[in-house]
A and B are shown apart, each in its own frame.
Chain A
């Protein structure tokens, strides 16, 4: 249980606003070019004045993901640019730490942009302690999710302009195992590469997997009575004919049912691992992985769209993704 005095002290800080932290340098071409170089960004919008002038942006802009970079303190700890606040926007973390939660891990970084920054602009941000959650226990340990919101502005003579925002969430915690500072990740070199299991293939099912390799979802069809069937089988379920061919599914489908597999965590699958019973618009159902889904947003009957993904460079599988908007 969290100390009640800690909770009282923390709650008193929530909602507090902290003063400005200024950028050391105005938005500038050398820092942009060096950032692009290391990131492998080759968009001329950031580095080629002629291209940028003729673009929809009417001139050079800074890469959006650099928003935070401008106001970083730099080499010397807590050495912020002149004019910056002397308040510590992270004081809540120190407070929580003083009650025996020494570790911290970043969980979310959510940037939103009003517009791109331009060379020559002077940036600052202010910080608000948005929320501190109830004490939670995760795989890492026990502690608190702390959410800070930084609002970024550009200075103008006519009044400052909001240009973007960062929502930053950390987990400030007491490690589950007191002997390690953070949950020790497996060593990279010790990690065997686990491949996706391959399907068994027979004369009845070969067409299906070869179709996947070609980016087509094929459904078996009885050539006598035209009944579609899946999974593949040698004999028509309606008229018992052995004669069949296949038709290509449109890829439009809906969610008939699903399961989210949480445990055990089987490599190399994502976990939790969402698996759907998919009803194709042609009328047959198949079991396939779901991608781009959030558990709380899944609903029976929702429209899905087929896509193929190739695993380990050799196994192409049909997967289904929710149709949005």
Chain B
């Protein structure tokens, strides 16, 4: 495995953008994500239950969204960045067959605590599934 270096605080600039990441939303990801986060709510794995709730398909659970947000930021920051916070606002549901594209940028830079703030969005065909901020402490 080729290890990416962890970003140094001094090498990160406010306004710097993170590489875009597109994640295909599949039945496997929605159900697998729900079970890996121990979330057995039927709307995340049972098509009929989801339809009974008024949804066209099963929909991604919040804990999977959190995991994907962590992955997006961590892929950029490197393995040893420490997460201080992960704050999201939820929007359009993620349904199988769609795709969610993450974009983000550095919007905060506090040298006293060596913390950077990333503001990000994950957008699908209906709009933003998730928007939010992540605070990372960098070496």
Contacts and interface: CB of A to CB of B under 8 A. Distances in A.
B8 interface: no
Interface string A32-74: 0011011111111100100100011100000111101100111
A68 B103 contact: no
Given A44-B3, A188-B125, A189-B97, A75 B15 contact: no
A137 interface: no
A106 B79 contact: no
Given A185-B92, A191-B125, A305-B15, A324 B66 contact: no
Contacts of A307: 15, 17, 105
Interface string A297-315: 0000000011101000000
Given A35-B36, A324-B109, A44 B1 contact: yes
Interface string B9-31: 00000110100000100000100
A64 B110 contact: no
A321 interface: yes
Contact of B14 (A107, A185, A305): A305
A28 interface: no
A234 to B, nearest CB: 33
Interface residues of A, number: 60
A184 B84 CA distance: 36
Interface in A95-153: 105-113, 116
Interface in B22-54: 23, 29, 32-33, 36-40, 53-54
Interface string B118-129: 010100011010
A78 to B, nearest CB: 12
Given A44-B3, A109-B87, A182-B54, A321 B15 contact: yes
30 contacts: A35-B37, A37-B36, A43-B74, A44-B79, A45-B80, A57-B80, A63-B67, A64-B83, A65-B67, A65-B70, A66-B67, A68-B37, A69-B36, A69-B37, A72-B37, A106-B90, A109-B66, A109-B87, A111-B86, A113-B84, A181-B53, A185-B93, A188-B125, A291-B105, A307-B105, A321-B14, A322-B107, A323-B14, A324-B14, A325-B109
Given A35-B36, A42-B1, A185-B126, 8 more contacts: A51-B79, A55-B79, A57-B82, A65-B86, A68-B63, A111-B66, A181-B53, A309-B103
Interface of B: 1, 3, 14-15, 17, 23, 29, 32-33, 36-40, 53-57, 62-71, 74, 79-80, 82-90, 92-93, 95, 97-98, 103, 105, 107-111, 117, 119, 121, 125-126, 128, 139
